[in-house]
């Protein structure tokens, strides 16, 4: 089905490296729905909130540069990582509300022939699907209903907080009770799992320096999902995915019980329901065995 | 004509002296459009149960006593319109203290950890001044503006008890203490800035343990945005040369190293650079799993060796780093 939606895709770093399944499933979903995607090959890392801790001004300059390339195309920039979304949107907000900072950043950008204008919006692919494309239209195209799965939506901090920043273009969820992923799961005929930790932090950002904190936060969320009968978890953020998929053994060790749960990227779940190929969905790239989900879904 | 709404308050009740476990009691009431959460707490006490306990004093959002949580959302009862919350959460509101595990009686909690941590960062101007000065200590508008919003903190504890790290790591200072540390460190009259930066740079208790969940930004009733101040404390550590080389500071600085080389982050290099080769043993098990799953690529060359896709127009990125970087480790 064609749509007239066109986006500039900021892939972020993980989709180009440790989570190739995120990029392939995103592109497969876009193709199925007739959404035109131009990958911003010029883009750099968003700083992942860590470069910001070292040199906030430099982080603004690099994020502004990324946005410049979306502006050149005259498109909305979409992200497939919550942290890319937040850091890009924070730079946009800072520059759009602080003319002095905008001038300082543009002075740097001018040296490489670029200018940040503030003409492109930034939104996560999740909200592009739900708000721009529409849940009803997605529902009409479900080939493989996910009716046999209890799916725990894990929202990830940086798409819902600070809510002030996301209100205009990025979902505008109630950060204490987000619903978009639940609605998406229902549209794909899956059963959303209601659990307290769906809007909590996974601990990814302190994986190296505060490992215990990181494992406990991830573990709390996973245990909560499992105890509420989740068969799998789905998240729009590859960093939440990496934390909860790759480190399950360590998390289980710290939390004192097994936490075996496949953690899917949001576009993987949509791709599965739209009947994309096994290769496009890329469940083989998960550390926690997830390939069975593809065959189970087809039955 | 009735413009009231029927609301059920599912209310946390607990008396540490007599109750073995907390319980939730339901109070149903008609709520008008101008009623605040504090009005509803008063009505529970005055109309239903005189033993119901909560802190309140100023009724002007300035004393910070009446902080509670409603459906998990931190709020000041005296500032918060009740029907706004009904709009957000529906007709049943879950009324809880800021931290259920610290409950003493109903909404009243033991805030000792909050006050101890707040005091630890010296939340006052430290200056050696003449007891009989001949002139006032003047500040320019620009100097004052540096801490204007951080100075609005009323120590209500909303951000502190919304922070997941405070719950997991008992050494962690928490967002309110960091706001206070920032507020006095950037005050030009103060002389203890370096000491505060060193305190808040320490692993375990300091800013490097922040998980970046933005719960504090969401919770603050004075719109101070504590995590923004946490980021500023991070940056100040480098600006004032207080930062020492450790896994966290190398992790932050390592992003520049990667972005300079590739535009993107080199996910393997950042771990090796942050941890050091000796520290890598902790990650070997995970690295092997990631290799097996195809998460670490080696189609093009050896894993871990310059195997990262490069951004188009990388020279632009390199030039921008060269002319924009302000901090060094």
How does pLDDT run across B27-71, given as a tens digit for each residue?
A: 999 999 999 999 999 999 999 999 999 999 999 999 999 999 999
H-helix segments, chain B = 37-43, 82-89, 112-120, 141-145, 164-168, 175-185, 193-201, 215-219, 226-239, 247-262, 267-279, 284-293, 314-324
Cβ neighbors of B249 (< 8 A, separation 6 or more) are: A54, B208, B237, B238, B243, B329
pLDDT score at B297: 66
Q: Do A42 and B311 touch (CB under 8 A)?
A: yes
What letter would DSSP give residue B158?
T
Chain A CB within 8 Å of residue B240 CB: no
Tell me: do B126 and B235 sit in the same domain: yes
- In this prediction, residues B64-81 reach a mean pLDDT of 98
**Tens-digit pLDDT profile for residues A159-180:** 999 999 988 889 999 999 999 9
In 3-state terms, what secondary structure has residue B222?
Answer: coil
Within chain A, which residue ranges are assigned CATH 1.20.1050.140? 6-123
- In this prediction, residues B288-315 reach a mean pLDDT of 76
Please list every residue in chain A whose beta carbon sits closer than 8 Å to the beta carbon of residue B257: none
User: Which run of H or of E encompasses B12?
Assistant: strand B5-13
Instruction: Tell how strand B108-109 and strand B67-70 pair up.
Output: unpaired
Q: Residues of chain A with pLDDT > 70: what percent?
A: 99
pLDDT range class, residue B298, cuts 50, 70, 90: low
Q: Cα–Cα–Cα angle for B166, B171, B173, nearest 5°?
A: 60
Please list every residue in chain A whose beta carbon sits closer than 8 Å to the beta carbon of residue B264: 13, 16-17, 44-45
Q: Does residue B166 form part of some domain?
A: yes
Task: Select from A5, A15, A10 the least CA-distant residue to A265.
Answer: A15
d(CA A207, CA B282): 12
- The architecture of the domain spanning A6-123 is Up-down Bundle (1.20)
Chain A CB within 8 Å of residue B88 CB: yes
Chain A CB within 8 Å of residue B234 CB: yes
Q: Does residue B283 form part of some domain?
A: yes
Choose one of B82, B109, B136: the last residue of a domain.
B109
Tell me: do B230 and B120 sit in the same domain: yes
Both tokens of B88, joined, read: 């957000």
In the CATH hierarchy, which fold is given to the domain comprising A142-298? Rossmann fold (3.40.50)
For residue A162, cis peptide bond before it (omega within 30 degrees of 0): yes
Q: A–B: how many Cβ contacts below 8 A?
A: 197
H-helix segments, A74-152 = 82-97, 99-110, 125-127, 135-140
| Chain centroid, CA B321 distance in Å | 29
Alpha carbon separation from B187 to B133, B147, B151, B206, B298 (Å, rounded) = 19, 7, 10, 20, 52
Tokens 């007891």 identify what position? B131
**Tens-digit pLDDT profile for residues A179-224:** 999 999 999 999 999 999 999 999 999 999 999 999 999 999 999 9
Better-predicted residue by pLDDT, B152 or B279: B152
Q: Does residue B329 form part of some domain?
A: no
Tell me: do B129 and B12 sit in the same domain: no
Please list every residue in chain A whose beta carbon sits closer than 8 Å to the beta carbon of residue B169: 210, 212-213
Q: Residues of chain B with pLDDT > 70: what percent?
A: 96
Q: Does residue B9 form part of some domain?
A: yes
Q: Does residue B314 form part of some domain?
A: yes
> What is the residue-averaged pLDDT of chain A?
97
Q: Residues of chain A with pLDDT > 90: what percent?
A: 97
d(CA B181, CA A297): 53
Choose one of B109, B130, B152: the last residue of a domain.
B109
Tell me: do B228 and B262 sit in the same domain: no
Tell me: do B279 and B201 sit in the same domain: no
- In this prediction, residues B288-305 reach a mean pLDDT of 70
Task: Select from A43, A263, A28 the least CA-distant residue to A143.
Answer: A28
Question: Structural domain of residue B304, as residue ranges?
Answer: 247-324
Tell me: do B149 and B47 sit in the same domain: no
The answer on pLDDT for B239 being more than 60 is yes
Tell me: do B30 and B86 sit in the same domain: yes
Chain A CB within 8 Å of residue B256 CB: yes
Q: Distance (Å) from the C-alpha of residue A286 to the closest C-alpha of chain B? A: 6
Please list every residue in chain B whose beta carbon sits closer than 8 Å to the beta carbon of residue A93: none
Q: How many domains is chain B partitioned into structurally?
A: 3
Q: Distance (Å) from the C-alpha of residue B89 to the closest C-alpha of chain A? A: 8
Both tokens of B23, joined, read: 């319980």
In 3-state terms, what secondary structure has residue A8?
Answer: strand
- What's the order of all strands across the beta sheet hosting A263-265? A191-192, A150-153, A232-235, A263-265
d(CA A78, CA A12): 10
Weakest mean pLDDT among A273-282, B95-104, B256-265, B303-312: B303-312
**Tens-digit pLDDT profile for residues B253-292:** 999 999 999 999 998 889 989 998 888 888 888 888 888 8
Weakest mean pLDDT among A138-142, A179-183, A216-220, B304-308: B304-308
Q: Does residue B42 form part of some domain?
A: yes
pLDDT score at B2: 67
Q: Do B238 and A158 touch (CB under 8 A)?
A: no
pLDDT score at B121: 98
CATH number at B20 reads: 3.10.20.30
Tell me: do B94 and B121 sit in the same domain: no
Within chain A, which residue ranges are assigned CATH 3.40.50.11810? 142-298
The answer on pLDDT for B9 being more than 90 is yes
Q: Cα–Cα–Cα angle for B261, B287, A219, nearest 5°?
A: 110
Q: Do A45 and B263 touch (CB under 8 A)?
A: yes
d(CA B90, CA B86): 5
> What is the residue-averaged pLDDT of chain B?
94
d(CA B281, CA A130): 43
pLDDT score at A121: 97
Which of A40, A53, A176 best probes binding to B when mutated, by most B CB atoms within 10 angstroms? A53
Describe the crossing of helices B314-324 and A99-110 by its angle, rounded to 10 degrees: 130
Tokens 């805030």 identify what position? B111
CATH number at B136 reads: 1.10.1060.10
Window A:117-156, CB contacts with B under 8 Å? none
Beta bridge partners of B93: B9
CB atoms under 10 Å from CB of A104, counted, come to 15
Q: Does residue B219 form part of some domain?
A: yes
The answer on pLDDT for A84 being more than 80 is yes
Q: Do A61 and B320 touch (CB under 8 A)?
A: yes
Q: Do B215 and A161 touch (CB under 8 A)?
A: yes
- In this prediction, residues B130-140 reach a mean pLDDT of 89
Q: Distance (Å) from the C-alpha of residue A140 to the closest C-alpha of chain B? A: 30
Q: Do A214 and B290 touch (CB under 8 A)?
A: no
Chain B CB within 8 Å of residue A103 CB: no
Q: Distance (Å) from the C-alpha of residue B128 to the closest C-alpha of chain A? A: 32
Question: Which of B208, B225, B235 lies nearest to residue A209, judging by beta carbons?
Answer: B208
pLDDT range class, residue A1, cuts 50, 70, 90: low
Tell me: do B213 and B122 sit in the same domain: yes
**Tens-digit pLDDT profile for residues A87-135:** 999 999 999 999 999 999 999 999 999 999 999 999 999 999 999 999 9
Q: Does residue B170 form part of some domain?
A: yes
Both tokens of A211, joined, read: 């490992």
CB B63 within 8 A of CB B57: yes
């Amino acid at each position: 089905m064609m749509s007239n939606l066109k986006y500039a895709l900021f892939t972020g770093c993980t989709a180009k490296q440790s989570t190739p399944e995120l990029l392939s499933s995103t592109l497969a979903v876009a193709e199925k729905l007739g959404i035109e995607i131009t990958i911003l090959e010029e883009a750099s890392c968003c700083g992942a909130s860590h470069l910001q801790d070292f040199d906030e001004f430099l982080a603004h300059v690099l994020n502004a540069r990324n946005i410049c390339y979306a502006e050149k195309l005259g498109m909305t920039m979409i992200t497939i990582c919550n942290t890319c979304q937040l850091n890009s949107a924070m730079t946009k907000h800072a520059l759009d509300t602080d003319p002095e900072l905008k001038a300082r950043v543009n002075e740097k950008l001018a040296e490489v022939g670029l200018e940040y204008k503030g003409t492109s919006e930034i939104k996560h692919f999740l909200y592009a699907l739900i708000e721009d494309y529409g849940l009803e239209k997605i529902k009409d195209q479900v080939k493989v209903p996910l009716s046999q799965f209890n799916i725990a939506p894990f929202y990830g901090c940086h798409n819902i907080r600070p809510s002030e920043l996301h209100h205009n273009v990025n979902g505008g969820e109630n950060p204490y009770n987000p619903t978009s992923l639940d609605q998406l799961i229902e549209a794909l005929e899956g059963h959303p799992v209601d659990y307290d930790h769906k809007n909590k932090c996974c601990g990814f950002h302190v994986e190296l320096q505060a490992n215990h904190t990181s494992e406990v936060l991830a573990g709390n969320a996973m245990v909560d999902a499992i105890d509420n009968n989740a068969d799998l978890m789905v998240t729009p953020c590859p960093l939440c995915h990496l934390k909860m998929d790759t480190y399950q053994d360590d998390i289980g060790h710290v939390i004192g019980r097994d936490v075996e749960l496949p953690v899917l990227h949001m576009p993987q779940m949509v791709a599965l329901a739209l009947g994309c190929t096994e290769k496009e969905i890329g469940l083989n790239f998960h550390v926690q065995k997830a390939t069975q989900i593809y065959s189970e879904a087809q039955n | 004509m009735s413009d009231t709404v029927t609301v059920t308050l599912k209310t946390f009740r607990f008396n540490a002296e007599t109750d073995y476990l907390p319980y939730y009691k339901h109070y149903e009431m008609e709520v008008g459009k101008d009623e605040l959460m504090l009005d509803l707490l008063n009505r529970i006490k005055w109309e239903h149960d005189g033993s119901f306990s909560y802190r309140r004093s100023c009724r002007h959002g300035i004393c910070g006593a009446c902080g509670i949580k409603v459906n998990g959302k931190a709020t000041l009862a005296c500032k918060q319109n009740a029907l706004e919350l009904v709009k957000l959460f529906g007709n049943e509101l879950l009324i809880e203290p800021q931290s259920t595990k610290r409950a003493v009686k109903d909404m009243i909690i033991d805030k000792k950890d909050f006050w101890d941590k707040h005091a630890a960062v010296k939340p006052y101007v430290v200056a050696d001044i003449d007891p009989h000065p001949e002139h006032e200590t003047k500040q320019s508008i620009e100097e004052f503006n540096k801490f204007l919003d951080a100075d609005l903190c009323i120590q209500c504890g909303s951000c502190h008890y919304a922070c997941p790290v405070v719950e997991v790591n008992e050494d962690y200072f928490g967002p309110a203490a960091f706001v206070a540390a920032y507020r006095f460190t950037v005050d030009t009259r103060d002389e203890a800035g370096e000491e505060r930066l060193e305190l808040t740079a320490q692993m375990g208790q300091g800013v490097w343990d922040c998980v970046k969940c933005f719960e504090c930004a969401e919770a603050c009733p004075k719109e101070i945005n504590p995590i923004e101040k946490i980021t500023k404390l991070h940056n100040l550590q480098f600006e004032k040369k207080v930062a020492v080389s450790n896994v966290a500071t190398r992790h932050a600085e390592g992003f520049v190293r990667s972005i300079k080389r590739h535009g993107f982050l080199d996910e393997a290099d950042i771990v090796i650079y942050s941890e050091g080769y000796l520290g890598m043993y902790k990650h070997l098990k995970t690295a092997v799993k990631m290799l097996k799953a195809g998460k670490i690529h080696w189609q093009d060359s050896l894993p871990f060796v310059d195997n990262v896709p490069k951004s188009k127009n990388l020279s632009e990125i390199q030039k921008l780093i060269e002319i924009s970087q302000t901090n060094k480790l």
